[in-house]
Amino acid sequence: MLEYSKLILSKMTFDKKLFRKEVRKAFRYLNAEERRQLIEWVRSKSEMLRIA
């Protein structure tokens, strides 16, 4: 589920509001470790994607 969430989020980079909504949605389906990994992934991509 984590990899699927990353795939979806990578396609939502054009709209910050939509991206945040999808992150919240992904959190519902991920366990604690996957959530931590997703947060790290978002942070690592945020500079490149200009989302943060």
Render pLDDT for 7-51 as a digit per residue (tens, 0 to 9): 999 888 788 899 899 999 999 999 999 999 999 999 888 766 565
Instruction: Look at phi and psi of residue 17 and say left if phi exceeds 0, alpha if psi is from -120 to 50, else beta.
Output: alpha
pTM above 0.85, yes or no: no
CA distances from 14 to 17, 23, 30, 51 (A): 9, 14, 23, 9
Cβ contacts of residue 10 below 8 Å, gap of 6+?
A: 45
Cβ contacts of residue 33 below 8 Å, gap of 6+?
A: none
